[in-house]
Homo-oligomer: A and B are copies of this chain.
Amino acid sequence: MKIVKFGGSSLATGEQIEKVFNIVTSDPERKIVVVSAPGKRHAQDAKVTDLLIDCAKGYLQFGEAKSSFEAVIERYDLIARELSLSDEIIRNIHDDLLTLLNSDKSRPEKYLDAVKASGEDNNAKLISTYFKQRGIEAHYVNPKEAGLIVSDEPGCAQVLPESYKSLYKLRERSGVLIFPGFFGYNKKGEVVTFSRSGSDITGSILANGTKADLYENFTDVDAVYSVNPAIIANPKELRELTYREMRELSYAGFSVFHDEALMPAFRAGIPVNIKNTNDPSKTGTKIVNEREHTDTPVIGIASDNGFCSIYVSKYLLNREIGFGRRLLHILEDFNLSFEHMPSGIDDISIILRQDQIDRKQEEHIMMRIKDELQADDVKVEYDLAIIMVVGEGMRRNVGTAARASNALAREGVNIEMINQGSSEVSMMFGVKEVDEYRAVQALYEEFFASVPV
C-alpha cells in the first residue's frame, strides 16, 4: 500500500488533476492520496493558500475581503469547469468558506488556521468528487474523523502519538481515500495547521500510521539533483539517497523538502519516492534508510549563505571549565541558535545565521561576552557561506578531505573553516560568500566530472 502526495503545482488546474487521476488509478497500491491546495499555474500566479491568508486578514481587520474571496472561488470554479463538475461543488465551497469567514474571530490565530486549512480541505472534496465522476470509488476523508490529532500550536502543530493507531484503520476502508494535507485537529476538535509545506508532513504521518510500503511524493521536478542547478547547469540527478544524506543536504540550500516533514516516515523506516507529476514514467529519486551503491564517496554538494561568525579569544580559555557553556548561554538569552562552534586553544568561534542578529543587538552581545566572560577579543565577521559535501561513501573513505581541499585550493578559494568529525557522511567548509559559487563549482568538478550523468 502506498501513500501518494501531490503538491500545489500538481493540483493547480483541471488538466493537472487529470494527470493526478491517471497516476493514482494506474496503480492499485495507491490507496491514500494526500492533496495540497491549488498552487501556482505560472510563476506570477497566486497560491490559493496565500489568497486565503489575505481573506482572513481582511475579515479580521475590515470585516470583509471581497477581491481575495472572489479570487479563491474563481480558482475552484475554473478547475471545476475544466473537469466538467456540477455547480453544486462550487456552491458548497462558496457557502462553506463564507460561513467560515464570518465565524468567531475572538482568537485570531485559530481563525487564521481554520481559513488556511480550508484550501486543502475544499480541494480534497473537489478531487474526490472528480474521481467519483470518473467512475472510481473515492472518498473524501476528514482528518478529525480519521483521528489525526495534533498539539494546540497554530501554524506549527505536532502530531500526537495516539494518532498513529487511529490512522492505521484507514487501511480497512474501501476505495481511494482523498485526504487533505496541512492540518489536523487538537483535542478540543479545532483545526490546527502544520508549518508551511505541511502537506508533506501529513503524507509522512499517514505513511507511518498506515505502515505503508512507500510514500510517493509528487512534485514538478524529475529528481533531486546532486547540486543546485542555478550553480551547475544540468547537474547529475540522484536515483537514491539516504535520509541522513537528505538531511545534511537540505540543511544548506537543498529545498526539495521541508526536512522536518520526513521525520514520521523516517522513524517508521518507510522509503520516500520523489516523482514528477508531469512525467510519472521517470524513476525519480528514492530516499531510503540505507543505500547500496556507494562507489563514489560524495553524492551531493549543497551550499547556503548568510552566515556570520562570532570570534571570541581569551588567553588560557581552554583551561576554563564552563567557558563554552556560558558563551552559549549568552547567545541563548538573545534567542540565537548556532550552527557550528570550531575552537582553537585560546579561541572559540560561533557560526550562526546572520539574519538572527541586528546591529544594535550585536553591540549588546559583544559587550556581554566581553564583560561576563572577560574575553580578550570579540569580533563578528559577516557574509560567510557554508558548503556541505555529503555522501554515505565518505564514511571510511581516506582522502575525501584531501580531494575537497585540493579542489578549493586549485580555485584559489580560501577555506575559512572546516568542520568534519561529528557526522560521518558530511564535511563542511566555510568560505566567504563571494567565493560560494566558485567553491561549489570546484567541488562539483572534483567529485562529479568523471561520473556519468
- A residues in contact (CB < 8 Å) with B: 244, 247-248, 251, 259-260, 263, 266-267, 309, 311, 315-316, 318-322, 324-325, 328-329, 332, 335-349, 351, 396, 398-399, 401-402, 405-406, 408-409, 412-423, 426-428, 430
Contacts and interface: CB of A to CB of B under 8 A. Distances in A.
A342 B419 contact: yes
Contact of A324 (B263, B338, B415, B417): B338
26 contacts: A244-B346, A247-B315, A248-B345, A309-B421, A318-B337, A318-B339, A321-B332, A321-B335, A322-B332, A324-B338, A325-B328, A339-B343, A340-B343, A341-B343, A342-B420, A344-B419, A344-B422, A346-B423, A348-B422, A396-B414, A398-B413, A398-B414, A399-B405, A405-B405, A405-B406, A418-B418
Contacts of A247: 315, 345-346
A53 to B, nearest CB: 24
Contacts of A413: 398
A234 to B, nearest CB: 27
A361 to B, nearest CB: 15
A23 B451 CA distance: 68
The 5 closest A-B pairs by CB, nearest first: A417-B421, A344-B423, A399-B409, A325-B328, A342-B421
A346 B247 CA distance: 8
B325 A337 contact: no
B408 A402 contact: yes
A203 B74 CA distance: 86
B398 A412 contact: yes
B316 A251 contact: no
Contact of A328 (B267, B324, B335, B336): B324
B420 A418 contact: yes
Contacts of A346: 244, 247, 423
**Residue among A309, A322, A343, A408 having the largest count of chain B Cβ atoms under 10 Å:** A343
A331 B426 CA distance: 26
Given A321-B335, A328-B328, A337-B318, A311 B342 contact: no
**Residue among A263, A319, A336, A405 having the largest count of chain B Cβ atoms under 10 Å:** A405
A413 to B, nearest CB: 7
Contact of A311 (B244, B396, B422): B422
Nearest to A337: B321
A316 B398 contact: no
Given A328-B328, A332-B322, A343-B340, A416 B409 contact: no
Given A316-B260, A345-B251, A419 B416 contact: no
Nearest to A338: B324
Contact of A336 (B321, B406, B416): B321
A417 B418 CA distance: 9
A398 B402 contact: no
Contacts of A417: 420-422
A315 B251 contact: no
**Residue among A422, A428, A430 having the largest count of chain B Cβ atoms under 10 Å:** A422
Nearest to A263: B315
